[in-house]
């Protein structure tokens, strides 16, 4: 039985694969020997709305949702959505964010402004001890499918956790449809590689 | 075997293992996936009924005949099925009947957050409430046993956080597990209906005989609730006793790790003796329950002083931080974790929108341009009410709009009023009000947004889809034959992407002064995965009029001096190209909007 607890919050936009990424994380936790719970709200998410998913690993997990201010890792599949959940991060927590913008309707209409990367960085830095920017969508596009960005991010995250690659790959293969196994495996390895190369644009902040 | 399962997956497995042979329901978040998962098990029968009342009657019929039946619904669906629930409680059943009802505190995807525990009390039917997926699995079996032992339907109450959360389930046995008495069909025998007129025909004379039976049954169930193992005290500190059930129990466990707990797996009828026992063991009793003070009222009526709704909110969904914050404010926990402070200025919100390429968009844009008063209904198309379309003006519950438009007509408000209703919603509850318009000499226009699928809840089959939940081909119910059969003579079927035609036909119907139906038909492109090359903007020609921004399509964004279309998001339907007055937006030929007859709009 694994000890301690790991609370992860994933934030993204409907259609980005946030739920698949959280399913993978939940299974990985189980494989680590943790008790696991995972919570999200489906329904409106398909319509391009915000999606957040809580994944909790622990010796014994009660609530399916993480308590605000207790998240160890905030994984943002989209920058604005990552920023939105900053106050869920524990002081000293870690944020890993896909450098990808999806403008919400008010921004498209010109009635609101999408915050700059610096603003988002500053916001996250109010609580995060480390912030990692990952060009997940760029890499996923190079692989031919931008919805693989979540799995690219997971590849980098597995590196951050220090898990061996083949601890995760079988889980991913089990969870994605067979015809997408190869591309997801490639996405994961690409993310892993980004991590190994130091996630070139790493920003370390002190708070 | 250990497996991560959502509450809904666990309910489905529980039902299969408990030998359920018939499952019926109508989609509704967060309950939908129960039946979708159940339908995949070998040898079961499962159906999407047109609405929850039909589903419950189907379940009752199966159970009358001795089969074990499952009915699934979201909380508001039980309103629709309530009439059937009340008679089934009086008659009882031969096989077990379990209704899984999913509440939606916080209204993540609902029009209200009613607390359906009151249905248990109102209809006098036992109710169980699991707190994780393991219990979801086990409680279906228990509910079946209770149903057959006490000759009553049983409701299992879920909610969004149980249905849609995953937790670890230990599965002892693959396949079916034989349980309890009765349930002949479950044991593989052919069910036989036994005639019993006084029990099953609820005319006043017989119903009067059944009411005392129901009361006696409730008395037995009340004693049962005192000893059923799912209601139990977990010894902790004598200072604080917590009463909780369902997911609220999980939050409470996080916030009060040392307290003594009375965990209720059965939330109706409630175990008074257990409450007394808890009170005798602790200094102070607190009820942690989402929504209404259902348990609290019972305990207070017993004369036991408890804290409940003066501490915890009666609105919205709980979370560990909300429970902790409320508890800290009331002095129930020593070291309050402050609600984390906001960490910056407000960020732009991201509400759900009609999908890029959605067929509903053109209709709402046309209605907006025609300045129609749109009496709406529930489905994806309700998003037509949001900016920038702002083109739906009422929406209460499924099937409401068609009645509401007629009510307005009867007070003389009929200029440009139309009702809009989706195909699934029409089959659900739109037909009686449609009949009403004709019967009571109304003149309203009803627009049926017919995308051949129940899209809102994730593309479930419906009577217009030509396919069943078990993926068998079936007759497609024709909406035009249906409305003509009722007697509507002015009926038009249009392609919602053919914008000029949409405007022309809608205008004509609104002006015609007679009852009429417009069927806007195009299969949901998200479901059929229809996609075209993305539209493009010729920035030279674009005169920055902003027309295309008014259709509220996510890929189109305002940029300096014009607009831009995100090719990765655009579905290529071509609506924006058709409504662009300067011809600056280009779409591929032959898309839904630019195809044959689509033409150019003079807007
Ligand atoms: C009584 C009740 N049952 C179920 C629901 C959940 N629900 C909301 S809209 C809808 C159906 C929408 O389908 P349709 O009318 O075809 O419109 P679409 O979403 O396809 O545009 C359902 C099942 C509800 N709100 N109320």
CB contact under 8 A, B350 and A86: no
In chain B, the residue whose alpha carbon lies closest to the alpha carbon of A48 is B352
Q: Is B76 in the pocket of ligand 1 (CB under 6 A)?
A: yes
The alpha carbon of residue A165 is apart from the nearest alpha carbon of chain B, in Å, by: 22
CA distance B209 to B213: 7
Q: Which CATH homologous superfamily contains domain B2-226?
A: Thiamin diphosphate (ThDP)-binding fold, Pyr/PP domains (3.40.50.970)
- Do B231-329 and B360-521 come out as alike in CATH topology? yes
Chain B CB contacts of A49 under 8 Å are 350-353
Class of domain B231-329: alpha beta
Domain locations in chain A as residue ranges: 6-205
Q: Does domain B360-521 have CATH number 3.10.150.10?
A: no
> Whole-angstrom distance between the N-terminal and C-terminal Cα of chain B?
63
pLDDT tens-digit series, residues B213-252: 999 999 999 999 999 999 999 999 999 999 999 999 999 9
Provide the 10 A C-beta neighbour count for residue B485: 9
Using CA atoms, how far apart are residues B118 and B116, in angstroms rounded to an integer? 5
Q: What pairing do the DSSP bridges indicate for beta strands B154-159 and B127-128?
A: parallel
Mean pLDDT of all residues in B500-514: 97
* Assembly ipTM: 0.94
What is the DSSP code (8-state) at residue B394? B
Residue B482 token pair:
């249906």
**pLDDT value for B590:** 83
The residue whose two tokens read 């892993």 is A192
Asked if residues A64 and A96 have their Cβ atoms less than 8 Å apart, the reply is no
Q: How far is the CA of B194 from the centre of ligand 1 (A)?
A: 37
Q: What is the DSSP letter of B62?
A: H
* Confidence band of B451 (pLDDT split at 50, 70, 90): very high
Of B30, B321, B343, the CB nearest to A86: B343
Run of H or E residues at A129: strand A128-134
pLDDT one-digit tens code per residue, B276-303: 999 999 999 999 999 999 999 999 999 9
Task: Using alpha carbons, select from B350, B108, B381 the residue that is nearest to residue A49.
Answer: B350
Region A187-203: what's the mean pLDDT? Answer: 80
Closest atom, ligand 1, to C-alpha of B27: 23
* Phi and psi, residue B37, nearest 5°: -75, -40
Please write the tens of the pLDDT for every residue from B126-141: 999 999 999 999 999 9
Confidence label for A176 from pLDDT (cuts 50, 70 and 90): very high
Q: Are A80 and A104 in contact (CB under 8 A)?
A: yes
Under 8 Å between Cβ of B74 and B160: no
pTM of the model: 0.96
When pLDDT is averaged across residues A94-105 and rounded to a whole number, the result is 94
CATH for B536-600, options being 3.30.70.20, 3.30.460.80, 3.40.50.2020, 3.30.565.10: 3.30.70.20
Residue of A nearest to B357 (CA): A47
- CA dist B195 and B203 (Å) reads 16
Where on the phi/psi map is residue A33: left (φ > 0), alpha (ψ -120 to 50), or beta? left
CATH code at A6-205:
3.40.920.10
Query: Which residues are within 8 A (CB) of A127 and not within 5 positions of it... i.e. 6 or more apart?
Result: A86, A87, A89, A90, A91, A92, A93, A207, B340, B343
Q: Tell me the C-alpha distance between B237 and B334, whole Å.
A: 14
The domain ranges of chain B are 2-226, 231-329, 360-521, 536-600
Query: What pLDDT, in 10s, does the model give residues B166-210?
Result: 999 999 877 776 554 444 444 456 788 899 999 999 999 999 999
Q: Which residue has the tokens 């909110």?
A: B313
């Amino acid at each position: 039985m694994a000890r301690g607890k790991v609370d992860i919050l994933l934030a993204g936009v409907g259609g980005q694969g946030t739920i698949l990424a959280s399913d993978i994380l939940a299974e990985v936790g189980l494989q680590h020997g943790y008790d696991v719970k995972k919570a999200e709200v489906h329904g409106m998410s398909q319509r391009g709305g915000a999606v957040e998913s809580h994944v909790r690993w622990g010796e014994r997990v009660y609530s399916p949702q993480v308590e605000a201010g207790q998240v160890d890792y905030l994984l943002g599949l989209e920058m604005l959505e990552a920023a939105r959940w900053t106050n869920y991060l524990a002081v000293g927590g870690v944020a890993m964010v896909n450098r990808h913008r999806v403008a919400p309707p008010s921004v498209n209409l010109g009635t609101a402004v999408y915050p700059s990367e610096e603003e988002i960085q500053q916001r996250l830095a109010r609580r995060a001890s480390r912030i990692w920017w990952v060009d997940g969508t760029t890499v996923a596009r190079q692989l031919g499918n931008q919805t693989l960005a979540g799995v690219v991010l997971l590849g980098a995250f597995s590196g951050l956790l220090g898990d061996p690659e083949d601890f995760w790959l079988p889980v991913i293969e089990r969870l994605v449809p067979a015809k997408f196994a190869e591309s997801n495996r490639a996405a994961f390895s690409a993310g892993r590689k980004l991590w190994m190369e130091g996630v070139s644009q790493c920003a370390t902040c002190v708070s | 075997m250990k497996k991560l399962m959502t509450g809904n997956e666990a309910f489905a497995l529980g039902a299969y293992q408990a030998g359920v042979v018939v499952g019926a329901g109508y989609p509704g978040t967060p309950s939908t996936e129960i039946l979708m998962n159940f339908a995949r098990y070998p040898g079961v029968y499962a159906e999407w009924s047109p609405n929850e009342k039909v589903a419950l009657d189907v379940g009752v019929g199966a159970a009358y005949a001795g089969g074990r039946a499952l009915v699934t619904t979201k909380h508001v669906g039980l309103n629709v099925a309530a009439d059937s629930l009340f008679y089934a409680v009086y008659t009882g059943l031969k096989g077990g009947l379990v209704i899984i009802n999913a509440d939606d505190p916080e209204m993540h995807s609902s029009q209200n957050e009613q607390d359906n525990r009151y249905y248990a009390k109102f209809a006098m039917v036992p109710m169980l409430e699991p707190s994780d997926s393991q219990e979801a699995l086990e409680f279906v079996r228990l509910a079946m046993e209770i149903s057959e032992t006490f000759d009553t339907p049983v409701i299992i109450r879920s909610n969004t956080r149980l249905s849609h959360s995953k937790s670890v389930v230990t599965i002892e046995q693959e396949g079916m597990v034989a349980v309890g008495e009765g349930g002949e069909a479950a044991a593989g025998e052919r069910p036989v209906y036994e005639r019993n007129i006084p029990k099953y025909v609820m005319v006043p004379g017989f119903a009067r005989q059944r009411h005392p039976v129901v009361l006696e049954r409730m008395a037995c169930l009340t004693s049962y609730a005192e000893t059923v193992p799912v209601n139990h005290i977990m010894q902790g500190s004598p200072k604080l006793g917590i009463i909780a059930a369902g997911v609220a129990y999980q939050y409470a466990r996080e916030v009060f790790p040392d307290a003594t707990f009375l965990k209720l797996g059965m939330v109706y009828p409630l175990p008074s003796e257990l409450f007394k026992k808890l009170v005798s063991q602790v200094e102070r009793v607190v009820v942690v329950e989402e929504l209404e003070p259902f348990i609290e009222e019972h305990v207070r009526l017993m004369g036991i002083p408890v804290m409940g709704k003066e501490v915890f909110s009666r609105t919205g969904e709980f979370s560990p931080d909300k429970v902790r914050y409320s508890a800290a404010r009331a002095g129930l926990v020593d070291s309050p974790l402050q609600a984390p402070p906001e960490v910056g200025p407000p960020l732009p919100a991201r509400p759900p929108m009609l999908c890029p390429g959605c067929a509903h968009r053109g209709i709402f844009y046309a209605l907006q341009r025609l300045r129609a008063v749109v009496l709406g209904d529930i489905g994806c198309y309700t998003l037509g009410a949001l900016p920038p379309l702002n083109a739906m003006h009422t929406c209460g519950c499924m099937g409401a709009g068609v009645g509401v438009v007629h009510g307005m007509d009867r007070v003389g408000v009929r200029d440009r009023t139309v009702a809009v209703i989706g195909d699934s919603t029409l089959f659900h509850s739109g037909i009686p009000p449609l009949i009403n318009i004709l019967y009571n000499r109304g003149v309203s226009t009803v627009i049926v947004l017919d995308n051949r699928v129940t899209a809102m809840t994730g593309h479930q089959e419906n009577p217009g889809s030509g396919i069943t939940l078990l993926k068998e081909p079936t007759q497609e119910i024709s909406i035009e034959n249906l409305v003509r059969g009722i007697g509507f003579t002015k009926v038009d079927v249009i392609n919602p992407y053919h914008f000029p035609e949409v405007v022309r036909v809608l205008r004509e119907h609104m002006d015609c002064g007679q009852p009429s139906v417009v069927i806007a038909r195009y299969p949901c492109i998200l479901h059929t995965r229809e996609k075209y090359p993305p539209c493009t903007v010729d920035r030279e020609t674009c005169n920055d009029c902003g027309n295309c921004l008014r259709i509220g399509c996510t890929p189109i964004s305002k940029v300096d001096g014009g607009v831009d279309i995100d090719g990765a998001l655009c579905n290529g339907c071509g609506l924006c190209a058709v409504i662009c007055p300067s011809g600056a937006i280009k779409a591929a030929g032959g898309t839904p909007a630019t195809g044959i007859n689509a033409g150019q709009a003079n807007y």
